[in-house]
């Protein structure tokens, strides 16, 4: 057994970080979820997904079509219906935290 398998066996599987969060392509399980943001690239979408997930809101990244080889496409950050208003509020406040004057 390799070193990494031993570590995983002791500590369990790790939560997906921003680099490995899956983008669900045309997955009907998420058709009823509400979109709170749309992104053009997977790197940005994963960063915003992580920021929202760290607050405890269940989020997924979805797309209607496969992404291109560079990770570009129409990517949606989605939450369940009952979490939409809280997610929108949190994301709106994150938008305000960016100081463009620096």
- pLDDT for 17-73, tens place per residue? 556 889 999 999 999 999 999 999 999 999 999 988 988 999 999 999 999 999 899
**Nearest partner of 55 among 20, 83, 27, judged by Cα:** 83
Residue 40 lies in a domain: yes
pLDDT band at 91 (very low <50, low <70, confident <90, very high): confident
The verdict on residue 64 lying in a domain is: yes
In a domain, 30, yes or no: yes
The pLDDT value given to residue 6: 67
User: Within a domain: residue 72?
Assistant: yes
Range of the domain at 71: 23-96
Residue 48 lies in a domain: yes
The number of folded domains in the chain is 1
Domain CATH for 59? 3.30.70
Identify the band that residue 7 occupies on the pLDDT scale cut at 50, 70 and 90: low
Closest CA to 51 of 93, 100, 102, 101: 93
Q: What is the pTM of this model?
A: 0.73
């Amino acid at each position: 057994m390799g070193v990494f398998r031993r570590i995983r066996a002791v500590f369990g599987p790790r939560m997906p970080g921003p680099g490995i969060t899956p983008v669900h392509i045309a997955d009907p399980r998420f058709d009823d979820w509400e979109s709170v943001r749309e992104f053009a690239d997977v790197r940005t979408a994963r960063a915003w997904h992580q920021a929202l997930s760290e607050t405890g809101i269940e989020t997924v990244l979805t797309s209607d079509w496969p992404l291109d080889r560079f990770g570009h496409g129409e990517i949606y950050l989605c939450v369940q219906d009952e979490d939409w208003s809280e997610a929108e509020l949190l994301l709106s406040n994150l938008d305000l935290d960016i100081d463009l004057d620096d």
